Amino acid sequence: MDRLSRISMLQNMLVKEPNDVFTNYALALEYVSEADYKKAEEQFLKVLKIDRKYLPCYYQLGQLKEKTNETHVALEFYKEGLELAKEQGNNKAINEINEAIWMLED
């Protein structure tokens, strides 16, 4: 299945269940793959509206902002994600996010 077909399929799924966190997140990742960063950001932010504690979004938004040369915004998303990862006791995410922050602040 090509990327455009996956995007179309995910969009159709969201017609039936617009607040499905994973489907919204998957669609955002497809937009990133297409380098459609505006749509990707909108989609990631929609996920966070649905579930503020969906940890993968913070890392992905940080990555996205790095790609668009918005380092200060990327750091904000990473730091928010780091706090959430600590709350959740997610050591793998803590390490990944700390690494991303370290790379930007170096």
pLDDT tens digits for range 49-96? 999 999 999 999 999 999 999 999 999 999 999 999 999 999 999 999
Q: Residue 99 is part of which domain span?
A: 55-106
Q: Do 47 and 91 share a domain, yes or no?
A: no
**Coil/strand/helix, residue 13:** helix
Q: What is the mean pLDDT of the chain?
A: 96
- Residue 2 pLDDT: 76
**106 shares a domain with 59:** yes
Q: Are residues 44 and 80 in the same domain?
A: no
Is the pLDDT at 3 greater than 90? The verdict is: no
Query: In terms of domains, do 43 and 61 share one?
Result: no
Same domain, 102 and 84: yes
Number of domains in the chain: 2
Tell me the mean pLDDT in the region 37-45. 98
* Total-model pTM: 0.92
Backbone φ and ψ for 104, nearest 5 degrees, come out as -75, -35
pLDDT of res. 106 = 77
